[in-house]
Amino acid sequence: MSTTPHAAQPYDQFPPLRVVPAPSAEPEPLETATVTQLFADQAARTGRRGSAYVQSSLAIDFRESGEDPLFGPQATHRSELPEPGVWATQIIGAVLECTTGLRPVSQLARWLDTAPREMVARRYTLAQRRGTRPLGRSSVLRSRACEPADGVAEVSLVVQHEGRVRAVAARLSGVDGRWLVTALQIG
């Protein structure tokens, strides 16, 4: 241990600092064929899933009858909402993943009203108990949307799900600046 003070180095001996832009952290979008192949590879690796206990969520409504309606969910005008056909295609794809047991229903709680969420949760629980792997990736083949009122949309979709072509119908309501699925029927 030395008692002599450490000599400070002059700043002109160091090279000047350079500001370099950070590289993009966003991944490139995957093509449909690549996603299908990744899905098939994962299904082949995992094989048959075991039946695990799945705890469902409780439907509890903490609102009281005398509450001020201005503090609850507020209707949203159509001009403040995204395109219903495109949005429905994405959310119904996620719902189909839930019904095959690939995605937990809790991830969709924000976009599903109570009745559709309970229906999807029942199908999720059944898929988990069955333990079978899906036959393939679900995909939306066609979608149609109509808007019967401001902030309300009804969509019908044709999907390929579990090896079959099915029809899906949903009613969307604009609530708090986003679409909310208030009715859902999977054929």
Q: Which domain holds residue 134?
A: 74-187
105 domain-assigned: yes
pTM tops 0.75, yes or no: no
The amino acid at residue 6 is: H
Please count the structural domains in the chain. 1
Q: Which spans in the chain are helix H?
A: 32-46, 84-99, 114-130
**In sequence order, which residues have a C-beta less than 8 Å from that of residue 186 and are 6 or more positions away?**
95, 96, 99, 161, 166, 168
**Residue 144 or residue 61, greater confidence:** 144
The pLDDT tens digits of the residues spanning 86-103 come to 999 999 999 999 888 888
Task: List the CATH number of the domain containing 156.
Answer: 3.10.450.50
44 domain-assigned: no
- Percent of the chain scored above 90 by pLDDT? 33
Positive or negative, the Cα torsion across 24, 26, 27, 32?
Answer: negative
167 domain-assigned: yes
pLDDT averaged over the chain?
82
